[in-house]
Amino acid sequence: MTLEIYQQELRRAYVRGGPGAIISGGVWFAAALTATYSSISDGFFLLFFAGMFIFPASKFALKLFFQRAPESKSNPGGL
């Protein structure tokens, strides 16, 4: 398989990154609101700890809403 085929498979599996971008935006928005209305340190902690769950939440959303098959095990770009 070529690099182009691997990339095409990842784009299909991750819906071109859309769910991850939406979830990441939600985390940043929540951290910004927390920093604005609570304190900057609370916003930082929210961003730091919620940021750890962006990728797992994206994978969960892909399975839940899009029912996409994961990338193949032989794909070197897959996680």
pLDDT in tens, 17-30: 999 999 999 999 99
| Residue 35 included in any domain | yes
Give pLDDT, residue 23.
Answer: 97
| Residue 19 included in any domain | no
Domain total for the chain?
A: 1
Domain residue limits at 36? 24-64
How many C-beta atoms lie closer than 10 Å to residue 26's C-beta?
Answer: 13
| Residue 73 included in any domain | no
pTM of the predicted structure, to 2 decimals? 0.83
| Residue 12 included in any domain | no
pLDDT in tens, 35-59: 999 999 999 999 999 999 999 999 9
Long-range contacts of 38-41 (CB under 8 A, 24+ apart): none
Q: Cα–Cα distances in Å, from 28 out to 11, 39, 47, 51?
A: 24, 15, 6, 8
| Residue 59 included in any domain | yes
